[in-house]
């Protein structure tokens, strides 16, 4: 790990100002991504701005029913928050399926949104990686690319899946990422926050220079809906999703009134399956219709050499998730 | 046994020290003036170092020295002789020359004033290579040419090929197992310091005597000048049986610099430079008659080895003797790949070998239409066919029967996929487990001291298995003292020479010696008590008993043993004993058992989990039912990992490992461990093996476990997976 200067900010304004002093600054909160990658020399910040003491550690339901989550709220606190447990089951489930208790106790909401890829080649500074060193090539393509690699949204420059569970639930719920920077505050639609790799896999998010996340504000719960997060993986705990589904469905009798479907482990960003959702509206909640929706969700899937099984697995995650919330 | 201490479920006496952090491991020692070393490791798998530029690294803060092949002191290879107790699996020394034989090989080492400074500077060492095309897998090596036969472990009896050809029922299948990495919690580490030509080093070691002798051979000095210590080890699973390049690098740097040096191997290089279980490729042929009686067994296996070591994984070691069969051929061979050197990993040979054999037995049962347990019983034998000797003590049939009863095997519906539970399909599988009972020479010393305590010392180790506790129990049994009055001293080569903690032989070797030494100590104490003027002057020492810290005469008068020592004005009454590792030629000594496994397969979400395990184990006298069960439970977990998760993965182009960390090298988590695990310990003492009747229990539990899981998976899914690990994509319908 390289030496860096360190500043503990007591306000977002101070944090942004300190971050703006250099061009190799990084924000830190829980540190579960930054410290890990700094020790590996994958991230080499020259200046680290600690935002933990800036506040922003509350979960509040707004008057319009939306849920505003401070950037410093830990994954553990968010998962067990009474409103989240009752009204955003899918989010609580997703958080508790991620990482381990000790990591969740440290990791924060803003940090989780900014979580970086788990690709072995990204983490190995001696391997080519377009995300780490733009233009150096993608070692995963034609290399070893099973567990943490995507089938949706990949490019010839990068095929790694977005690692977060929390973000998959948030993509299903919908909302905005509230950010603050040198030019003031703005909101970014959650679905627009993470970027597809395209030919710039090193650009991962829609933040402008020196902006920091202050909150994630989630849409109000869908009335009368049930939700569920289903994470499929080789072992029962402490593994990134091979495929996961975040499902929110409201029904009128046996008919689907509203459906939200997002997928994890299979997309290069938290993957909202809008066309699959649309196919279900007004349809009967049957296995057949669920299977058709799942096929739509993966219509454009392109596997690596090692992960073709993720296409049927991802479809299974959707079908079982839909069955669970409509049972 | 004379009291209720042998076999009792005693908690570990070292537990409080481990929980509170008082137990110090190899890298928890900080001698004055300590320096810290950090390795620079090759990021190519094959080639030559053309240049090492240390100029930038030397300018980093705190750097004291940077070693590499250009300036490392000239040392000697260990002869690697097991009998002389200086064995290594990778005889090449670190920094011996500029060749790179595997990825993650030591190519340089920074020594600095702090760990952080050493690690920082290591990133600035600029190594240039001339890369050559690496051999990146066993499969690739086998395409390049015929493997090298390992003749010494070959076994042939009868004519297996002819008998196979004429057998009415045949199985002929290839089974493979991948490279598996030990991954003990504690990293390999060395803390070394020299004092006037004498070396003391703390090493993460399963064998301090071997570590001492090997390092002495490397430096060409008298082993008496070397003290190797490993009072606590954060497990090893075989990776710490012999020393690895880190020990040589650290001890040599310490000698060169005249300062203590500490070196910890990073987790990523625990996958490259401290051993692993090699990949295996095994061909099994079974021939049987209509009743399931085996006519022929062929087990031809090949394993990967490195270009700097020749390690043979003896996959057929159990195949020779598990079943009654007149026509058997077992062969082993190796092929070189550009990976670190393999070494023993828990139940070497038997763990991958029984995956193959016990899967094939299940396939044979399917072909004949027999119950797989009935097929095993039909080929039961109490004679070791490879040696023509009876087993010293065998209760395998009872393992089959008690295990089956506890599991409910009679309720098994043999039809594939027929046993359902909601969304899940259940599968039931069985496999035998088996391990050779081994023992080695051992010395021990036991002293009863005037402060009321007993001291037991032996240069064996507690590698996390409970050796401290069972040593104390053994001494307590003879000395009549509570466990908290017994101090156990292990893990220092200065103590009386004891066995490696490996091969499941530490207990069977050390406890008889400790028992004998304790008897001698007690006899000396009794001798003092009957001396002229002593408390039981002129009495018959045979009539004196020792219990609760007191000597008693025929149940009458008693005296505290402390008083006897004080009256004699001596510090202690002690005994030293030696027990031989020789086992004679009348019997074959093995341990036996059977695993019964239930798996659940949810085809709707492709989820595979192990639900339930019953393991019945026949391994002689149980010394501590708690630590013994724990050994089998841990082995069951490791066996589940072998079946479903474990695989060191390499980039097929570069040969570099890609899942070299705890997040991506999957082992079972607590959530993967079945709630319903039932270990049945048969507890039949084997007095033909040693005076205490124990045979050891560290390894047998992992053998057969992967096959039992694979057989259960077949029963649920109809998919016969012959290549470990079993992955969900193997089971998903096409």
Cβ proximity of A194 and A270 under 8 Å: yes
Separation in Å, CA of B365 to nearest CA in chain A: 29
Say if strands B486-489 and B544-547 run parallel, antiparallel, or are unpaired.
Answer: unpaired
Separation in Å, CA of A323 to nearest CA in chain B: 11
Percent of chain B clearing pLDDT 70 (strictly above): 99
Classify residue A121: in a domain, yes or no. no
What is the model's pLDDT at position B3?
Answer: 56
The predicted-structure confidence for B172-186, as pLDDT tens digits, reads as follows 999 999 999 999 999
* DSSP three-state, residue A285: coil
SS (H, E, C) B560-597: EHHHHHHHHCCCEEEEEEEECCCCCCCCECEEEEEEEE
B134, B605, B610, B673: best to mutate for the A interface, most A CBs within 10 A: B605
What is the model's pLDDT at position B1?
Answer: 41
Distance from CA of residue A15 to its chain's centroid?
A: 24
Domain final position from A53, A73, A89: A53
Are A190 and A290 within one domain?
no
pLDDT-derived band at B734 (thresholds 50, 70, 90) equals low
User: B676, B672, B678, B675: which is closest to B609 by C-alpha?
Assistant: B672
Choose the closest CB to A309 out of B123, B671, B728: B728
Classify residue A79: in a domain, yes or no. yes
B532 included as an active-site residue: no
Which residues on A lie below 8 Å from B728 (Cβ)?
Answer: 234, 242, 309, 313
Residues in chain B: 734
Q: Do B607 and A232 touch (CB under 8 A)?
A: yes
Say if strands B454-457 and B486-489 run parallel, antiparallel, or are unpaired.
Answer: parallel
Which residues on B lie below 8 Å from A316 (Cβ)?
Answer: 604-606
Which residues on A lie below 8 Å from B104 (Cβ)?
Answer: none
With CA atoms as reference, the chain B residue closest to A243 would be B605
Q: Is the pLDDT of residue B2 over 60?
A: no
Classify residue A149: in a domain, yes or no. no
Classify residue A154: in a domain, yes or no. no
Cβ proximity of B379 and B396 under 8 Å: no
User: B281, B284, B346, B335: which is closest to B310 by C-alpha?
Assistant: B335
DSSP state at residue B409: G
Residues in chain A: 327
Which residues on B lie below 8 Å from A121 (Cβ)?
Answer: 658
B103, B642, B658, B669: best to mutate for the A interface, most A CBs within 10 A: B658
Separation in Å, CA of A142 to nearest CA in chain B: 9
What is the model's pLDDT at position A2?
Answer: 82
Q: Which of B90, B133, B699, B729 is catalytic?
A: B699
Are A266 and A203 within one domain?
no
- Domain CATH number, residue A251: 3.30.390.50
The predicted-structure confidence for A159-218, as pLDDT tens digits, reads as follows 999 999 999 999 999 999 999 999 999 999 999 999 999 999 999 999 999 999 999 999
Domain count, chain A: 3
Are A198 and A176 within one domain?
yes
d(CA B664, CA A121): 13
The segments of chain A whose pLDDT lies below 50 read none
Classify residue A22: in a domain, yes or no. yes
The predicted-structure confidence for B52-97, as pLDDT tens digits, reads as follows 999 999 999 999 999 999 999 999 999 999 999 999 999 999 999 9
CATH of B280-438+585-731, one of 3.30.365.10, 3.40.190.10, 3.40.50.20, 3.50.40.10: 3.30.365.10
Q: Which residues of B465-481 are buried (b: 16+ CB within 10 A; e: fewer)?
A: bbbbbbbbbbbbbbbbb
User: B581, B638, B571: which is closest to B610 by C-alpha?
Assistant: B638
Own/partner pairs, B451-455, CB within 8 angstroms, 24+ separation: B451/B562, B452/B485, B452/B549, B452/B560, B452/B561, B452/B562, B453/B481, B453/B485, B453/B486, B453/B487, B454/B479, B454/B481, B454/B485, B454/B486, B454/B487, B454/B518, B454/B521, B455/B486, B455/B487, B455/B489, B455/B572
With CA atoms as reference, the chain B residue closest to A291 would be B604
Choose the closest CB to B645 out of A124, A235, A312: A235
ipTM of the complex: 0.97
Are A34 and A177 within one domain?
no
Range(s) of the domain holding residue A13:
5-53
Which residues on B lie below 8 Å from A127 (Cβ)?
Answer: 654, 656
Domain final position from A35, A53, A71: A53
Number of H helices, E strands in chain B: 16, 30
Are A194 and A267 within one domain?
no
d(CA B229, CA B85): 16
Taking each helix axis as running N to C, give the angle between helix B350-368 and helix B625-644, from 0 to 180 degrees, rounded to the nearest 10.
70
Are A110 and A179 within one domain?
yes
User: Is the backbone peptide bond immediately before B484 cis, with ω within 30 degrees of 0?
Assistant: no
- Domain CATH number, residue A209: 3.30.465.10
| Mean of pLDDT over chain B | 97
Are A204 and A91 within one domain?
yes
Q: Do B649 and A316 touch (CB under 8 A)?
A: no
Choose the closest CB to B666 out of A144, A239, A308: A239
Residues of A with CB under 8 A from a CB of B: 1-3, 41, 118, 120-121, 124, 126-127, 139, 142-144, 147-148, 230, 232, 234-239, 242, 308-309, 312-313, 316-317, 319-320
Which residues on A lie below 8 Å from B644 (Cβ)?
Answer: 234-235
Q: Do A309 and B645 touch (CB under 8 A)?
A: no
Are A272 and A316 within one domain?
yes
Choose the closest CB to B653 out of A124, A143, A238: A143
Say if strands B454-457 and B442-449 run parallel, antiparallel, or are unpaired.
Answer: antiparallel
* DSSP three-state, residue B123: coil
Sign of CA dihedral B706, B711, B716, B721: positive
d(CA B253, CA A227): 60
Cβ proximity of B39 and B109 under 8 Å: yes
Choose the closest CB to A235 out of B119, B649, B666: B666
Q: Do A232 and B666 touch (CB under 8 A)?
A: no
Choose the closest CB to A144 out of B651, B670, B732: B651
Are A305 and A321 within one domain?
yes
Number of Cβ pairs < 8 A linking chain A and chain B: 78
Residue A183 has φ and ψ, to the nearest 5°, of -100, 20
Choose the closest CB to B669 out of A2, A127, A235: A235
Q: Do B666 and A234 touch (CB under 8 A)?
A: yes
Which residues on B lie below 8 Å from A140 (Cβ)?
Answer: none
- Domain CATH number, residue A28: 3.30.43.10
What is the model's pLDDT at position B554?
Answer: 84
Q: Do A238 and B650 touch (CB under 8 A)?
A: no
Residues of B with CB under 8 A from a CB of A: 43, 116, 119-120, 123, 604-607, 609, 644-645, 649-654, 656, 658-659, 663-664, 666, 668-672, 727-729, 732
Separation in Å, CA of A94 to nearest CA in chain B: 17
The predicted-structure confidence for B199-243, as pLDDT tens digits, reads as follows 999 999 999 999 999 999 999 999 999 999 999 999 999 999 999
Which residues on B lie below 8 Å from A309 (Cβ)?
Answer: 606, 728-729, 732
Please state which CATH number belongs to domain B15-21+440-579: 3.30.365.10
Classify residue A130: in a domain, yes or no. no
What is the model's pLDDT at position A1?
Answer: 78
The predicted-structure confidence for B461-508, as pLDDT tens digits, reads as follows 999 999 999 999 999 999 999 999 999 999 999 999 999 999 999 999
Cβ proximity of B716 and B601 under 8 Å: yes
Which residues on A lie below 8 Å from B649 (Cβ)?
Answer: 144
Cβ proximity of B499 and B506 under 8 Å: yes
Separation in Å, CA of A321 to nearest CA in chain B: 10
Are A231 and A282 within one domain?
yes
DSSP state at residue B321: T
Q: Do A320 and B644 touch (CB under 8 A)?
A: no
Q: Do B604 and A309 touch (CB under 8 A)?
A: no
Choose the closest CB to A41 out of B123, B644, B728: B123
A33, A124, A129: best to mutate for the B interface, most B CBs within 10 A: A124
Choose the closest CB to A234 out of B120, B658, B728: B728
Q: Do B605 and A317 touch (CB under 8 A)?
A: yes
**Dihedral (C-alpha) A162, A163, A165, A167: value to the nearest 10 degrees?**
-40
Are A168 and A47 within one domain?
no
SS (H, E, C) B340-355: CCCCCCCCCCHHHHHH
Percentages helix, strand, coil for chain B, rounded to the nearest 5? 30, 25, 45
Q: How many CA atoms lie within 13 A of B62 on its CB side?
A: 18
Q: Do A237 and B650 touch (CB under 8 A)?
A: no
Separation in Å, CA of A64 to nearest CA in chain B: 37
Q: Do A236 and B609 touch (CB under 8 A)?
A: yes
Q: Cite the residue boundaries of each domain of chain B with CATH code 3.30.365.10.
A: 15-21+440-579, 280-438+585-731
CATH superfamily placement of domain B31-133+185-234+240-271:
Aldehyde oxidase/xanthine dehydrogenase, a/b hammerhead (3.90.1170.50)
Are A186 and A43 within one domain?
no
d(CA A303, CA A152): 8
């Amino acid at each position: 790990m390289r030496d860096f200067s360190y500043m503990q900010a007591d306000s977002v304004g101070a944090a942004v100002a300190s971050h703006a002093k250099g061009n190799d600054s990084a924000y830190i909160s829980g540190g579960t991504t930054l410290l890990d990658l700094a020790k590996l020399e994958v991230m080499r910040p020259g200046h680290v701005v600690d935002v933990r003491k800036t506040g922003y550690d509350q979960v509040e339901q707004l008057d319009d029913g939306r849920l505003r989550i401070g950037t410093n709220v830990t994954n553990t606190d968010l998962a067990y928050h009474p409103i989240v447990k009752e009204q955003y089951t899918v989010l609580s489930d997703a958080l508790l399926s991620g990482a381990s208790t000790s990591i969740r106790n440290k990791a924060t909401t803003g940090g989780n949104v900014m979580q970086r890829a788990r690709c072995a080649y990204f983490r190995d500074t001696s391997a080519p990686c377009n995300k780490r060193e733009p233009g150096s090539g993608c070692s995963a393509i034609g290399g070893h690319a099973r567990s943490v690699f995507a089938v949706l949204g990949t490019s010839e420059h990068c095929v790694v899946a977005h690692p977060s569970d929390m973000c998959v639930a948030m993509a299903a719920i919908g909302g905005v990422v509230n950010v603050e920077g040198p030019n003031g505050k703005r909101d970014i639609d959650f679905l627009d926050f993470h970027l597809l790799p395209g030919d710039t896999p090193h650009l991962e998010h829609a933040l402008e220079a020196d902006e920091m996340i202050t909150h994630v504000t989630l849409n109000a719960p869908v009335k009368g809906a049930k939700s569920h997060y289903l994470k499929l993986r080789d072992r029962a705990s402490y593994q990134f999703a091979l495929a996961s589904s975040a499902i929110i469905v409201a029904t009128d009798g046996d008919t689907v009134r509203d459906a939200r479907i997002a997928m994890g482990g299979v997309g290069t960003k938290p993957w909202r399956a809008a066309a699959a959702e649309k196919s279900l509206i007004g349809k009967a909640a049957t296995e057949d219709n669920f299977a058709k929706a799942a096929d739509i969700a993966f219509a454009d899937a392109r596997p690596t050499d090692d992960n073709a099984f993720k296409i049927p697995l991802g479809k299974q995650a959707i079908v079982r998730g839909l069955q669970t919330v409509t049972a | 046994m004379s009291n209720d201490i042998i076999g009792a479920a005693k908690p570990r006496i070292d537990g409080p020290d481990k929980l509170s952090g008082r137990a110090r491991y190899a890298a928890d020692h900080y001698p004055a003036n300590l320096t810290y070393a950090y390795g620079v490791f090759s990021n190519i798998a094959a080639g030559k170092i053309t240049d090492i530029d240390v100029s930038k690294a030397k300018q980093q803060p705190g750097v004291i020295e940077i070693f590499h092949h250009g300036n490392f002191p000239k040392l000697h290879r260990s002869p690697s002789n097991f009998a002389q107790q200086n064995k290594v699996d990778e005889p090449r020394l670190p920094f011996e020359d500029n060749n790179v034989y595997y990825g993650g090989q030591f190519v340089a080492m920074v020594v600095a004033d702090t760990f952080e400074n050493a690690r920082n500077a290591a990133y600035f060492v600029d190594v240039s290579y001339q890369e050559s095309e690496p051999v990146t897998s066993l499969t690739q090596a086998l395409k390049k040419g015929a493997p090298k036969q390992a003749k010494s472990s070959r076994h042939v009896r009868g004519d297996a090929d002819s008998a196979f050809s004429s057998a009415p029922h045949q199985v002929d299948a290839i089974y493979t197992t991948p490279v598996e990495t030990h991954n003990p919690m504690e990293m390999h580490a060395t803390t070394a310091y020299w004092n006037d030509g004498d070396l003391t080093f703390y090493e993460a070691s399963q064998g301090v005597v071997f570590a001492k002798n090997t390092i002495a051979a490397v430096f060409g000095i008298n082993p008496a000048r070397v003290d190797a210590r490993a009072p606590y080890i954060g497990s090893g699973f075989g990776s710490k049986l012999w020393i690895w390049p880190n020990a040589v690098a650290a001890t040599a740097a310490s000698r060169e610099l005249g300062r203590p040096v500490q070196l910890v191997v990073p987790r990523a290089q625990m996958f490259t430079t401290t051993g692993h279980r090699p990949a295996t490729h095994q061909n099994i042929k079974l021939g049987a008659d209509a009743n399931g009686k085996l006519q022929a067994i062929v087990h031809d296996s090949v394993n990967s080895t490195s270009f700097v070591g020749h390690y043979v994984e003896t996959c057929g070691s159990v195949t020779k003797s598990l079943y009654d069969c007149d026509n058997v051929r077992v062969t082993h061979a190796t092929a070189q790949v550009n990976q670190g050197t393999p070494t023993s990993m828990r139940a070497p040979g038997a763990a991958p070998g029984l995956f193959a054999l016990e899967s094939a037995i299940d396939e044979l049962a399917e072909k004949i239409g027999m119950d797989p347990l009935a097929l095993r019983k039909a080929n039961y034998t109490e004679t070791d066919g490879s040696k023509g000797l009876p087993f010293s003590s065998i209760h395998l049939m009872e393992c089959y029967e008690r295990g089956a009863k506890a599991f409910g095997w009679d309720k098994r519906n043999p039809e594939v996929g027929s046993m359902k539970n909601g969304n899940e399909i259940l599968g039931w599988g069985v496999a035998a487990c088996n391990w050779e009972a081994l023992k080695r020479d051992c010395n021990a010393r036991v002293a009863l001291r005037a402060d009321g305590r007993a001291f037991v010392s032996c240069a064996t180790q507690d590698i996390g298995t409970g050796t401290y506790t069972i040593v104390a129990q053994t001494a307590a049994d003879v000395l009549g003292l509570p466990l908290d009055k017994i101090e156990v001293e292990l893990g220092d080569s200065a103590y009386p020479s004891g066995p490696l903690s490996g091969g499941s032989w530490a207990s069977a070797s050390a406890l008889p010696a400790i028992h004998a030494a304790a008897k001698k100590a007690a006899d000396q104490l009794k001798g003092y008590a009957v001396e002229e003027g002593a408390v039981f002057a002129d009495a018959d020492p045979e009539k004196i008993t020792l219990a609760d810290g007191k000597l008693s005469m025929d149940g009458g008068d008693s005296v505290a043993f402390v008083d006897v020592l004080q009256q004699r004005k001596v510090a202690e009454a002690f005994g030293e004993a030696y027990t031989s590792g020789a086992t004679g030629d009348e019997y074959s000594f093995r341990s036996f058992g059977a695993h019964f496994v239930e798996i659940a397969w949810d085809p709707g979400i492709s989820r595979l989990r192990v639900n339930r395990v019953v393991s019945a184990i026949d391994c002689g006298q149980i010394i501590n039912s708690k630590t013994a069960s724990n050994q089998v439970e841990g082995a069951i977990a490791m066996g589940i990992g072998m079946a479903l998760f474990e695989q060191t993965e390499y980039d097929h182009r570069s040969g570099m490992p890609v899942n070299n960390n705890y997040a991506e090298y999957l082992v079972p988590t607590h959530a993967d461990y079945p709630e319903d695990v039932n270990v049945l310990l048969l507890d039949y003492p084997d007095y033909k093996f040693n005076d205490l009747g124990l045979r050891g229990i560290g390894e047998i539990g992992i053998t057969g476990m992967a096959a039992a899981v694979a057989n259960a998976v077949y029963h649920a899914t109809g998919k016969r997976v012959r290549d470990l690990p079993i992955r969900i994509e193997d089971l998903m319908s096409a």
